[in-house]
Structure 1
Amino acid sequence: MRKPLLILAAVAMAASFAAFAQNTSSVRYKWYDGEGLVHYSDSLTAEAMKYGYDLVNDRGLVVRRVPRQLNAEERAAAAKVAEAEAAKQRAARELATAEAQMLDAYPDEEAYKISLQQTLDTFDQQIHTTRINLRSQEKALADLLARAAEIENAKKPVPKFLTDSVAAQRNVVTGLRATLQRQQALRAQTVQDQVKQLARYRELKAEQDKASQ
């Protein structure tokens, strides 16, 4: 009994190898060279790998396309494109999540407007504080300049410590003025952004209300 079984197994294995060989032999390689001329071969060549090739069956149909090999520069460029696309998709997912959270946090437009106004109130507080500090530092600078002017009017040399103090105080005032300008510009930009944000909120809210009907 064991011997006939071994014979049957051997026959089946031989048939499998024959079928595999037949299928393999029916596949050819087709590719176009650098001048656009078509080539066929029964084996994979370096030129085919260079330009990319098609696997063609015995009926002339393409069963698989294999792109050409990329050089190091092209691989780096492809990786960069893939990375940019992944970052774009990630940003889109994060935006969708943020917008969904916004709708959950602010069920109506009035609540959302209050949130926007709170942001502007924070800017206004910062600007108010900077203005107070600026006025104080400008007064200190004016006092130093007045002392230096008195000494000059008395035909005496201005002490170095006073000159240094004036210079340092000028820097403080200049820095605060720059800070105030940045805060005001940021607030103005925020107002513009909030107009767009409110419009987007209304769009999302309308879509949500429509979906719930």
Structure 2
Amino acid sequence: MRKSLLVFAAVVLVASLSAHAQNTGNIRYKWYDGQGLMHFSDSLTADAMKYGYDLVNDHGLVVQHVPRQLNAEERAAANKLAAEQAAKQRAAQEIANAETQMLAAYPDEESYKISQQQALDTIDQQIHTTQINLRSQEKALTDLLARAADMENAKTPVPKFLVDNIAQQRGIVTAQRSALQRQQALRVQTVQQQAKQLAHYRELKAAQAQPTE
């Protein structure tokens, strides 16, 4: 029985080696030049490497294809594309990590809404503080203008320091009003963004709840 198995193994090995020899044979090189003309060679040539070549066995079968060499400009473009793709992959991985952390930090929608409201509360507090400061600065400007008006009514020249103070105070009021507008715009933008974030959160939770096969 053992002798039969050894004979069978030897036959299989011989058949395998024979098939390998038929599939490979003596390798030649085939390539097409810039005019599309086909060339064969027993050795690898510079033109073959320039245009790319096929490894061909004795039966004319292509064993392997080797693409042409890239020039400096093409290599630079290929490296740039590879870098861009790697950057996209890193960005996608960072987003996935952030989403995983978000779901871990806020296991339910109520906790997520609370975090969003806290962000709005912070902006609202900033707006409230700016409004108080603005009213105070506007009152100071009104007082300065009233002093200047009283002097003009009394036919008294308005001193330069008062004129300068009025100009300075106008600048402060203008800056406070601009700050208030930016904060109010930020709140509107935050509300819109939070609506999108909540919708995305719900999508992630729905996907998380689906059974895995």
Q: Structures share a fold, TM > 0.5?
A: yes
- Displacement of 1:157: 4.2
**Which residue of structure 1 aligns with residue 126 of structure 2?**
126
CA distance in 2, matches of 1:125, 1:57: 79
Please tell me the residue identity of whatever aligns with 2:175: G
Structure 2: stretches of 5+ with no match in the other structure:
1-23
Normalising by the residue count of structure 1, what TM-score does the alignment of the two structures yield?
A: 0.76
Q: How does 1:70-109 map to 2 (within 5 A)?
A: 70-109=70-109
Distance 1:182 1:158 in 2: 35
Change (3 A) 1:174 1:37: farther
- What one-letter code is carried by the residue in structure 2 that aligns with 1:211? P
TM-superposed deviation, 1:53: 2.9
CA distance in 2, matches of 1:212, 1:27: 50
Structure 1 distance, partners of 2:171, 2:199, is 42
What is the alpha-carbon distance in structure 1 between the residues aligned to residue 189 and residue 129 of structure 2? Answer: 20
Provide closer, same or farther for how the CA distance between residues 103 and 159 of structure 1 changes in structure 2, counting only shifts above 3 A: same
Per the alignment, residue 140 of structure 1 pairs with: 140
Structure 1 residues 45 and 178: alpha-carbon distance in aligned structure 2, compared to 1, 3 A threshold: farther
Rate the CA distance shift 1:117–1:42 in 2: closer, same or farther, 3 A. Answer: same
Structure 2 partner of 1:33: 33
- The Cα shift of 1:46 comes to 3.2
SS, match of residue 211 in structure 1: coil
Task: Give the secondary structure class of the aligned counterpart of 1:91.
Answer: helix
Alpha-carbon RMSD across the aligned residues, in angstroms, is: 2.7
CA distance in 1 between partners of 2:61 and 2:156 (Å)? 102
Question: Cα 1:170–1:47, aligned 2, differ >3 Å: closer, same or farther?
Answer: farther
106 and 163 in structure 1: CA distance in 2 versus 1, 3 angstrom threshold: same
Q: Which runs of 5+ in 1 are unaligned?
A: 1-23
CA deviations 1:151-177 (Å, max 9, x no partner) are 344444433333332232222222222
- 1:16 aligns with none
Judged with a 3 Å threshold, the aligned counterparts in structure 2 of structure 1 residues 131 and 58 are, in CA distance, closer, same or farther, namely farther
1-structure distance, mates of 2:135, 2:152: 25
Q: Percent identity?
A: 74
Deviation at 1:206, TM superposition (A): 1.8
Cα deviation, residue 134, structure 1: 1.6
Whether the 8 Å CA contact 2:25–2:57 is kept in 1: the answer is no
Tell me the equivalent position of 1:51.
51
Partner residue of 2:208? 208
Question: Which residue in the other structure is 1:115 paired with?
Answer: 115
TM-score by length of 2: 0.76
Cα distance in 1 for partners of 2:72, 2:149 equals 70
Query: Closer, same or farther in 2 for the Cα pair 1:45/1:168, shift >3 Å?
Result: farther
Change (3 A) 1:137 1:80: farther
Indicate the residue corresponding to 1:149 in structure 2.
Answer: 149
- Deviation of residue 93 (structure 1)? 1.1
Give the deviation of 1:28 after TM superposition: 2.9
